[in-house]
């Protein structure tokens, strides 16, 4: 992790994709957190990718809207890679909210209103977004309220260029058919993506689950929006279905018209939304309490043989394949864009752990004081909510912490809330002497893993992981790292 990016002090990595890494940093001059997006090193010599990266900053600088991510600054690192300094979305993404909580009809309408306002502003400045999806809708606290913002214009194009070049790009389940076919584009492409996003928020499922851009080129009609569990009036069904028309001539003429029609059809059903329309989640970037380290002296079951292989789940749906075809060239370039995991580092840069993005809603990185210790030690606590470590919680998360100790404890924390008996995994000696116990049948039908490792002569590393599946827990355990020891 770099200590600084330009004049900005780096705190931790927010995420990484195929073309760039985003860091949470601090503007010491203005006393404010910022997000710094840096072009990936392996693309720094590709002039086309570099130009697209810089164009994103130029597009965003054209717009002054509370519902579009703001670019404050731009620069170049010593190695020549460009970076963009942007507003930090401290309330997560729409993808986070949908995965954990979901949205009510009133909240959905407010998201559509605000994102629609952001898209309309882009269109008025002559810019198409072309990649609207849950991961590119960010939430930020403003004056005690949450504002939804359009982000990531990595695929953004000026309308003039989009009308002349054949460009195939986007996320299959949200991309307009004409965009998947490489036809010239206009604002109705973004209107289609907004309708697909609306359908997802209202129905709790995507209108389409295309595996490729070729499938998105001929989507057919979406399934009915209404179900027995989530009934909606026919007027609302008609608005969203028209927004998802395969033929752009049959859609709403622009985003503003679509939002107005949706509001007329949905507002009587949704009712008034309370303020704040989306509750502030203070745990997304605030401190989360570490799990209890109380030890039960009950005997453990006999150890089971170690697993011969470990499987790591990739988080989320595979990212969109991006294919750029320039007129007359007859060739193409393919790249993968995937929603990344998040790597978190403690404030002392002594520990790091990579976790699924949804596990980053309640993060603490400023250390802890173990029971009986004279001082503070490096630690990280992060999970899907601040209560993830509570015995009865179905949340997921991980605690990683150093503590004093010159030998492994004879017992590890017990978990009576789990129906399965703790199974001790034999020490493989890979990271030094260690003890690992796995509990199954935990709340949420998940697993809880306790691990202690002797990392130095007088320090132990303690890790607790709670996950809905063993594969994800193993992946997180594999990505715990100790630095400088």
Concatenated DSSP letters of 161-181:
HHTTS-EE-S-TTTS-HHHHT
Query: What kind and span of H or E run contains 441?
Result: strand 434-442
188-203 helix and 255-270 helix, angle to the nearest 10 degrees: 20
- Find out whether 315 and 356 touch, Cβ atoms under 8 Å: yes
Q: CB under 8 Å to 300, separation ≥6 — which residues?
A: 411, 412, 421, 422, 424, 437
Task: Tell me 432's DSSP state.
Answer: B
Place of tokens 């009865």: 392
Binding residues for ATP, by number, are: 37
Instruction: Please report the DSSP string for 180-248 in residue order.
Output: HTT----THHHHHHHHHHHHHHHHSS-S---SSHHHHTS--PPPPS--SSS---HHHHHHHHHHT-SSG
Asked whether this chain's domains 4-86 and 94-270 adopt the same fold, the reply is: no
Tokens of 448: 């809880």
- Find out whether 69 and 63 touch, Cβ atoms under 8 Å: no
More confident residue, 247 or 433: 247
CA angle, residues 288, 294, 298, in degrees to nearest 5: 140
Class level of CATH domain 4-86: alpha beta
Query: pLDDT confidence of 116, banded at 50, 70, 90?
Result: very high
Candidate ranges 25-39, 343-357, 376-390; pick with highest mean pLDDT: 25-39
Virtual CA dihedral for 155, 158, 160, 163, nearest 10 degrees?
30
- Find out whether 368 and 347 touch, Cβ atoms under 8 Å: no
pLDDT over 70 (residue 334): no
In angstroms, rounded to a whole number, what is the distance separating the alpha carbons of residues 485 and 477? Answer: 18
Query: pLDDT confidence of 369, banded at 50, 70, 90?
Result: low
Candidate ranges 197-206, 360-369, 474-483; pick with highest mean pLDDT: 197-206
Query: pLDDT confidence of 336, banded at 50, 70, 90?
Result: very low
pLDDT over 70 (residue 94): yes
**What end-to-end distance do the CA atoms of the chain give, in Å?**
16
- Lowest mean pLDDT of 16-25, 71-80, 270-279, 390-399, name the range: 270-279
Indicate whether this model's pTM tops 0.75: no
Q: What is the pLDDT of residue 363?
A: 78
Task: Tell me the average pLDDT across 307-316.
Answer: 27
Q: What digits encode the pLDDT tens for the residues 209-263?
A: 888 888 888 888 899 999 988 999 999 999 999 999 999 999 999 999 999 999 9
Burial (CB count within 10 angstroms: exposed 0-12, middle 13-18, buried 19+), residue 87: buried
- Find out whether 349 and 9 touch, Cβ atoms under 8 Å: no
3-state helix, strand, coil in the chain (%, to 5): 25, 25, 50
Q: What is the pLDDT of residue 143?
A: 75
Q: In this structure, which CATH number among 3.30.160, 3.40.50, 3.40.1000, 1.20.120 belongs to the domain 321-482?
A: 3.40.1000
- Find out whether 360 and 252 touch, Cβ atoms under 8 Å: no
Residue 446 φ then ψ, to 5°: -110, -165
Task: Tell me the average pLDDT across 396-411.
Answer: 81
Q: Would you call the peptide bond into 276 cis, given omega within 30 degrees of 0 as the criterion?
A: yes
The residue extents of the domains of the chain are 4-86, 94-270, 321-482
- Find out whether 225 and 241 touch, Cβ atoms under 8 Å: yes
In angstroms, rounded to a whole number, what is the distance separating the alpha carbons of residues 57 and 94? Answer: 22
Give CA separation, 140 vs 56, 68, 145, 287, 405, in Å. Answer: 20, 11, 8, 18, 42
Residue 165 φ then ψ, to 5°: -95, 150
In angstroms, rounded to a whole number, what is the distance separating the alpha carbons of residues 259 and 405? Answer: 60
Q: What is the sign, positive or negative, of the torsion defined by CA atoms of 91, 84, 318, 241?
A: positive
Query: pLDDT confidence of 328, banded at 50, 70, 90?
Result: very low
Query: What kind and span of H or E run contains 473?
Result: helix 470-478
Q: In this structure, which CATH number among 3.10.310.30, 1.10.3720.10, 1.10.510.10, 3.40.50.720 belongs to the domain 94-270?
A: 1.10.510.10
Binding residues, by number, are: 37
Place of tokens 């002569």: 457
Candidates 434, 250, 288, 422; CA nearest to 366 is: 288
In angstroms, rounded to a whole number, what is the distance separating the alpha carbons of residues 390 and 290? Answer: 10
Q: CB under 8 Å to 53, separation ≥6 — which residues?
A: 19, 20, 39, 43, 82, 84, 154
């Amino acid at each position: 992790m770099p200590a600084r990016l330009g004049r900005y002090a780096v705190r931790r990595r927010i995420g990484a994709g195929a073309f760039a890494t985003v860091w949470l940093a601090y503007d010491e001059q203005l006393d404010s957190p910022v997000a710094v997006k840096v072009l990936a090193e392996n693309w720094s010599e590709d002039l086309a990718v570099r130009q697209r990266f810089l164009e994103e900053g130029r597009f965003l600088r054209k717009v002054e809207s509370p519902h579009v991510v703001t670019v404050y600054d731009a620069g170049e690192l010593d190695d020549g890679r460009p970076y963009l300094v942007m507003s930090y979305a401290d309330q997560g993404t729409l993808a986070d909210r949908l995965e954990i909580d979901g949205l009510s009809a009133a909240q959905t309408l407010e998201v559509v209103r605000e994102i629609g306002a952001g898209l309309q502003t882009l269109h008025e400045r002559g810019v198409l977004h072309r990649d609207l999806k849950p991961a590119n809708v960010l939430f930020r606290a403003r004056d005690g309220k949450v504002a939804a913002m359009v982000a990531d214009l990595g695929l953004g194009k000026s309308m003039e260029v989009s009308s002349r070049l054949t460009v195939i790009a986007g996320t299959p389940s949200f991309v307009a058919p004409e965009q998947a076919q490489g036809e010239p584009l206009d604002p109705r492409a973004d209107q289609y993506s907004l309708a697909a996003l609306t359908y997802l928020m209202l129905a709790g499922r995507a209108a389409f689950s295309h595996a490729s851009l070729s499938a998105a080129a001929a989507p057919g009609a979406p399934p009915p929006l209404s179900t027995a569990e989530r009934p909606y009036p026919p007027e609302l069904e008609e608005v969203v279905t028209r927004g998802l028309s395969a033929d752009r001539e049959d859609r709403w003429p622009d985003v503003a018209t679509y939002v107005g029609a949706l509001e007329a059809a949905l507002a009587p059903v949704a009712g008034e939304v309370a303020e704040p329309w989306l509750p502030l989640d203070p745990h997304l970037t605030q401190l989360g309490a570490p799990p209890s380290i109380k030890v039960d002296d009950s005997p453990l079951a006999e150890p089971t043989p170690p697993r011969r292989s470990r499987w790591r789940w990739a988080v989320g749906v595979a990212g969109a394949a991006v294919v750029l075809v320039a007129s007359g060239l007859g060739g193409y370039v393919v790249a993968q864009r995937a929603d990344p995991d998040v790597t978190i580092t403690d404030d002392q840069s002594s520990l790091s752990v990579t976790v699924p993005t949804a596990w980053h809603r309640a993060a603490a990185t400023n250390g802890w004081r173990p029971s009986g210790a004279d001082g503070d030690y490096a630690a990280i606590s992060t999970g899907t909510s601040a209560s993830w470590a509570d015995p009865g919680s179905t949340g997921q998360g991980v605690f990683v912490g150093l503590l004093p100790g010159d030998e492994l404890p004879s017992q590890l924390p017990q978990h009576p809330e789990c129906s399965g008996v703790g199974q001790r995994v034999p020490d493989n000696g890979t990271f030094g002497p260690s003890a690992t116990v796995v509990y199954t049948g935990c709340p949420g039908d998940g697993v809880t893993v306790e691990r202690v490792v002797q990392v130095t002569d007088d320090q132990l590393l303690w890790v607790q992981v709670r996950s809905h599946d063993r594969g994800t827990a193993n992946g997180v355990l594999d990505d715990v790292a100790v630095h400088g020891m």
